[in-house]
Chain A
């Protein structure tokens, strides 16, 4: 089976840096993805890690340690528009298995 753990809520100040952690247990692993979802909107793809290490895309970075079954999403220079839900998802080859999501609130 699959299980993913991520914090349910995180609050941070505009301009700050925030890290959202994700631990997973899975029977099949091809990679770890991160998606952002605003209320009422569709999930949008942020990043994908298949190998250990850090991937950087603009203000967002994602890290993976396969030996620790652990990853994180790092958001820098937070903006108000970053307030949203963030999901980690394990790629099992043909399916994404999502965590329950982390609700990020960015305050002024």
Chain B
């Protein structure tokens, strides 16, 4: 079975640009979450979507947005990139919290 897949794996962008990151959850998982992880820190929650509806949003500026499609895949968009947005962006899907989240390998975003 395919796990959570994310694309691209690496990305270099310039300050002020826009970026779109993509995620496909495990088949059958209707919940998709996005996390940001900077080096040496734990992942920080950005968004969770369930059945195409936003269930929760973390403490991130409005430059960050996301959506979930009918096939449960998801996109994370970041506008007006800042140097501080450089991080590993992780997508996770789950059946339930008790079953745990399965994380993708992430997209490494570098803003220069």
Contacts and interface: CB of A to CB of B under 8 A. Distances in A.
Interface of A: 30-31, 33, 41-46, 48, 50, 87, 89, 91, 93-101
B55 A100 contact: no
Given A89-B42, A100-B41, A33 B90 contact: no
Contacts of A91: 97
A45 B100 contact: yes
Interface residues of B, number: 24
A39 B55 CA distance: 30
Contacts of A45: 99-102
Going nearest first, the 6 A-B pairs with the smallest beta carbon separation are A45-B100, A98-B42, A94-B56, A95-B45, A42-B103, A94-B55
Contacts, number: 56
A79 to B, nearest CB: 21
B105 interface: yes
A87 B100 CA distance: 13
Contact of B42 (A42, A87, A94): A87
A42 B97 contact: no
Contacts of A96: 33, 35, 43, 45, 101
A24 to B, nearest CB: 12
Nearest to A43: B103
Q: Is the interface of B mostly helix, strand, loop or mixed?
A: loop
B105 A42 contact: yes
A45 B33 CA distance: 15
Interface string B30-45: 0001010000111111
A41 to B, nearest CB: 7
B97 A43 contact: no
B48 A42 contact: no
B16 interface: no
Contact of B103 (A44, A46, A50): A44
Given A41-B105, A95-B48, A101-B42, 13 more contacts: A30-B97, A42-B90, A42-B104, A42-B105, A42-B106, A48-B98, A48-B100, A91-B97, A93-B56, A94-B56, A96-B33, A96-B35, A98-B42
